[in-house]
């Protein structure tokens, strides 16, 4: 099967007075039609940046794609003009953000914001757009959708706002939904509702989802496949069960051991020594080597490639590539 | 059993509603009673707006209480004179969620940790400096940090500074208000391990406030679950996670994503938490509760004893208990 989204060797630089910071250091990622893929990592690992690069949302002044390609339905996105991106955003690729309050315009009613995107992309009349908007609000299980059309974003709870954004994101038939920490600002019971809703609606529409999160437990219970990022690289990817049960990369292993659990015996948590590297002066070779407990000489010198260790399971670690 | 170090007795906190006609107010904390014993960690868990932080602030005397009383080592905080109160209050310290905003950006790390000492009668400058160094080493920060500013530190290091400051006056109780929520998991693990180690070495008691159940479970010996200003269930940690009794606790536990579970998340209730401005009648959880009955709609249940450590406020629980008694 052809991937819907194919990111190849993507490098993104941020330019600052102190020099260029390589924030994405050669990302390879495939997303297949109808797939639910989790992208996890700690803050600053580049997961949001990956999604923003896909949608052409990099800050023009100081960020640039230095190398690599992003293919969506076989079409190259790198180098597209703003106008071309606008035709794509919301229609074929949509995004929901962490803070729904910031993503909605506080000065306009929900109705006008949901109908705007329908009028723009579908070219339908105001009346038709309104009935369609109401049905979309109902579809994301907003109670009394007609009344909600006439309220302002501040009158809604965080969970309801996120539902509105999801309705907007899916209303024009997007093939790909980029969900950037969509539930991080929400309470757990609401988080469960929203995650379930994203899964149910995208399932029925056949939309692919790239779920960006820092929470491995969320990945465990929502995604089919997961990619783990560290300092601008994907260090491991594979089916959720494999990556979380039999992690192969030392960073994935360390991350899992640092997490407190909801069941099982309570053990001392293993923290990862050191801190996330400064992107202006990243470590040579494998960017994780200064914090890695099993680092060898080779890890300092050369960067390991993301290679297959089992079916669909890829790891970027020198200790693994020996065995292949 | 020893005496509690801190006791809350029927504590109520009401905030006036500005602009409202008459004396309208909104009850953030509603008749909460809680004991914390020396050396133990009591976890306080609940969703945003349930009143868990307000409770922490009242313990810290950052918010005056409306009704009820707070006793520290058997002494009523409200009865203490100003001087006494200051001394008592020094034994209770707090660590906030966001170290970026809880540390003064214009102070150097040394000054930040020294400040409580300076304000509480440590006159000798050299002695103070030695103490500061000792405190920093307790949180694994070296001498080189003394002259740095908070912005030069990472989030985890800043939280260490906040902990060192909280330790400066030899407290007996530390209120930890979401101390790791702003941190990445690898750093969270460092801070949780540090807190645990400090507790063992210094015989501290913690009131640990968090919305993260896995973190609460990791650190607490006892857990209180709050919903709309009330404690709905309180229990020993193992018991609570193994046998939750209140429908809200069950809902909370089933909605938290679990790393060891690959099944899709359950959605127990499709509704949201009602506004504390207009709390529901009777049991505050009844509009979301799958087992709510007429009784629940009319009367607010009291906390009932399950065993010495486990208490729950649910009408349905007592019925069940009576049934089993009838069987026996």
pLDDT of A32-66, one tens digit each?
A: 999 999 999 998 899 999 999 999 999 888 899 99
Residues A36-45 have pLDDT tens digits of 999 999 988 9
Q: Does the pLDDT of residue B327 top 70, yes or no?
A: no
Q: Does the pLDDT of residue B36 top 70, yes or no?
A: yes
Q: Does the pLDDT of residue B33 top 80, yes or no?
A: yes
Tokens for A311?
Answer: 């079916």
User: Which residues 86-145 of chain B have a CB within 8 Å of chain A?
Assistant: none
Q: Does the pLDDT of residue A323 top 70, yes or no?
A: no
Q: Does the pLDDT of residue B319 top 70, yes or no?
A: no
B160–chain A Cβ distance below 8 A for any pair: no
Whether residues B273 and A187 touch (CB distance < 8 A) is answered with: yes
Whether residues B184 and A214 touch (CB distance < 8 A) is answered with: yes
Contact A3, A72 (CB under 8 A): no
- Packing angle, helices A158-170 and A126-139, rounded to 10: 120
Rg of the Cα atoms in chain B = 21
Rg of the Cα atoms in chain A = 21
Residue holding tokens 């214009």? B106
pLDDT for the residue numbered A166: 96
Whether residues B262 and A191 touch (CB distance < 8 A) is answered with: no
Q: Does the pLDDT of residue B22 top 80, yes or no?
A: no
Q: Does the pLDDT of residue A324 top 50, yes or no?
A: no
Residues B239-295 have pLDDT tens digits of 999 999 999 999 999 989 988 888 888 776 778 888 777 889 999 999 999 889 999
| Rounded-to-integer distance, Cα B223 and Cα A117, Å | 47
| Rounded-to-integer distance, Cα B279 and Cα B125, Å | 53
| Rounded-to-integer distance, Cα A46 and Cα A94, Å | 19
pLDDT for the residue numbered B298: 93
CA distances from B269 to A298, B112, B195 (A): 53, 46, 35
Helices (H), chain A: 47-54, 82-88, 100-103, 110-122, 126-139, 145-148, 158-170, 188-205, 216-222, 240-245, 250-257, 297-301, 318-321
Tokens for B317?
Answer: 């629980």
Q: Which of A143, A155, A192 to mutate to test the interface with B (most CBs of B within 10 A)?
A: A192
Least confident range of A70-74, B21-25, B56-60: B21-25
The mean pLDDT value for A279-303 works out to 92
Residues B42-101 have pLDDT tens digits of 999 998 889 999 999 999 988 999 999 999 998 888 888 888 888 888 999 999 999 989
B154–chain A Cβ distance below 8 A for any pair: yes
Distance from CA of A1 to the nearest CA of B (A): 25
Whether residues B214 and A199 touch (CB distance < 8 A) is answered with: no
Whether residues A271 and B190 touch (CB distance < 8 A) is answered with: yes
More confident residue, A229 or A60: A229
Whether residues B189 and A258 touch (CB distance < 8 A) is answered with: yes
pLDDT for the residue numbered A207: 96
Confidence of residue A322 (pLDDT cuts 50, 70, 90): low
| Rounded-to-integer distance, Cα A212 and Cα A208, Å | 13
Whether residues B186 and A189 touch (CB distance < 8 A) is answered with: no
As a whole-number percent, the residues of chain A with pLDDT over 90 amount to: 83
Q: Model-level pTM?
A: 0.89
Q: How many CB pairs under 8 A join A and B?
A: 132
Q: Are strands B75-76 and A313-315 parallel, antiparallel or unpaired?
A: unpaired
| Rounded-to-integer distance, Cα A200 and Cα A207, Å | 10
Distance from CA of A47 to the nearest CA of B (A): 14
Tokens for A92?
Answer: 């074929």
Residues B131-149 have pLDDT tens digits of 999 999 999 999 999 999 9
Q: Does the pLDDT of residue A254 top 60, yes or no?
A: yes
Cα dihedral value A98, B260, B233, B249, nearest 10:
60
Residues A163-203 have pLDDT tens digits of 999 999 999 999 999 999 999 889 998 999 999 999 999 99
Residues B88-130 have pLDDT tens digits of 889 999 999 999 899 999 999 999 999 999 998 889 999 999 9
For B71, phi then psi, to 5°, come to: -110, 130
B78–chain A Cβ distance below 8 A for any pair: no
Residues B206-245 have pLDDT tens digits of 999 999 999 999 999 999 999 999 999 999 999 999 999 9
ipTM: 0.85
Mean pLDDT of chain A: 93
- In eight-state DSSP terms, residue B286 is G
What residue spans define the domains of chain B? 6-91+171-327
Distance from CA of B151 to the nearest CA of A (A): 15
As a whole-number percent, the residues of chain B with pLDDT over 90 amount to: 68
A178 by Cβ neighbours in 10 Å (0-12 / 13-18 / 19+) ranks as: buried
| Chain B residue numbers touching A157 (CB-CB < 8 A) | 272
Residues B179-196 have pLDDT tens digits of 999 888 888 999 999 999
Whether residues A220 and B258 touch (CB distance < 8 A) is answered with: yes
First-to-final CA distance of chain B? 32
Distance from CA of B251 to the nearest CA of A (A): 7
pLDDT for the residue numbered B262: 80
Confidence of residue B324 (pLDDT cuts 50, 70, 90): low
Q: What dotted CATH number matches B6-91+171-327? A: 3.40.50.300
pLDDT for the residue numbered A271: 86
For B66, phi then psi, to 5°, come to: -85, -40
Distance from CA of A203 to the nearest CA of B (A): 13
pLDDT for the residue numbered A320: 83
Q: Is the dihedral of CA B53, B100, B183, B170 positive or negative?
A: negative
Q: Does the pLDDT of residue B326 top 50, yes or no?
A: no
């Amino acid at each position: 099967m052809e991937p819907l989204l194919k990111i190849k060797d993507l490098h993104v630089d941020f330019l600052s007075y102190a020099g260029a910071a390589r924030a994405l250091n050669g990302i390879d990622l495939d997303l297949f039609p109808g797939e639910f893929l989790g992208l996890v990592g700690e803050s600053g690992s580049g997961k949001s940046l990956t999604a923003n690069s896909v949608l052409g949302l990099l800050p023009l002044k100081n960020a640039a794609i230095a190398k690599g390609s992003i293919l969506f339905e076989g079409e190259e996105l790198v180098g597209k003009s703003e106008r071309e991106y606008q035709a794509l955003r919301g229609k074929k690729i949509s995004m929901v953000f962490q803070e729904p309050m910031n993503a909605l315009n506080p000065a306009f009613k929900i109705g006008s914001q949901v109908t705007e995107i329908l009028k723009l992309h579908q070219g339908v009349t105001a009346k038709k757009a309104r009935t369609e908007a109401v049905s979309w609000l109902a579809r994301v299980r907003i109670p009394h959708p007609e009344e909600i059309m006439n309220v302002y974003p501040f009158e809604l709870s965080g969970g309801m706002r996120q539902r509105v954004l999801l309705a907007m994101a899916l209303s024009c038939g997007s093939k790909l939904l980029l969900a950037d920490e969509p539930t991080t600002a929400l309470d757990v019971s609401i988080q469960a509702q929203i995650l379930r809703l994203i899964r149910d609606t995208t399932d029925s529409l056949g939309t692919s989802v790239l779920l960006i999160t820092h929470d491995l437990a969320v990945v465990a219970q929502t995604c089919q496949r997961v990619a783990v990022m560290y300092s601008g690289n994907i260090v491991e990817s594979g089916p959720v069960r494999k990556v979380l049960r039999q992690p192969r990369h030392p960073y994935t292993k360390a991350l899992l051991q640092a997490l407190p659990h909801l069941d099982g015996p309570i053990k001392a948590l293993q923290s990862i020594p050191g801190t996330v590297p400064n992107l202006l002066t990243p470590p040579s070779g494998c960017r994780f080597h200064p914090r890695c407990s099993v680092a060898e000489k080779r890890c300092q010198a050369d960067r390991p490639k993301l290679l297959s260790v089992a079916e669909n399971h890829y790891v970027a670690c020198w200790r693994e590539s020996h065995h292949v | 059993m020893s005496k509690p170090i801190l006791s809350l007795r029927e504590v109520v906190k009401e905030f006036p509603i500005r602009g409202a006609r008459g004396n309208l107010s909104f009850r953030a904390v509603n008749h909460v009673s809680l004991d914390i014993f020396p050396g133990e960690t009591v976890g306080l868990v609940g969703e945003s707006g349930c009143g868990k932080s307000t409770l922490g602030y009242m313990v810290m005397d950052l918010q005056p209480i409306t009704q009820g009383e707070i006793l520290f080592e058997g002494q009523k905080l409200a009865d203490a004179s100003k001087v006494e109160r200051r001394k008592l209050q020094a034994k209770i310290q707090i660590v906030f969620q966001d170290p970026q905003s809880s540390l003064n950006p214009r102070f150097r790390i040394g000054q930040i940790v020294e400040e409580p000492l300076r304000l509480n009668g440590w006159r000798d400058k050299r002695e103070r400096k030695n103490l500061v160094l000792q405190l920093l080493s307790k949180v694994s920060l070296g001498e080189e940090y003394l002259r740095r500013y908070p912005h030069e530190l990472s989030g985890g290091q800043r939280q260490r500074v906040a902990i060192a400051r909280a330790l400066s006056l030899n407290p007996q109780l530390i209120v930890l208000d979401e101390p790791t929520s702003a941190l990445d998991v690898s750093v969270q693990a460092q801070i949780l391990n540090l807190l645990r180690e400090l507790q063992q070495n210094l015989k501290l008691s913690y009131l640990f406030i968090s919305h993260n159940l896995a973190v609460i479970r990791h650190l607490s010996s006892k857990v209180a679950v709050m919903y709309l200003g009330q404690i709905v269930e309180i229990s020993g940690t193992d018991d609570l996670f193994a046998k939750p009794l209140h429908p809200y606790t069950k809902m909370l536990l089933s909605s938290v994503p679990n790393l060891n579970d690959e099944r899709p998340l359950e959605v127990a209730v499709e509704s949201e938490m009602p506004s504390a401005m207009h709390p529901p009648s009777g049991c505050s959880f009844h509009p979301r509760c799958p087992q709510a009955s007429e009784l629940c709609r009319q009367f607010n249940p009291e906390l009932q004893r399950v065993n010495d450590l486990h208490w729950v406020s649910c009408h349905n629980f007592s019925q069940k208990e009576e049934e089993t008694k009838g069987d026996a």
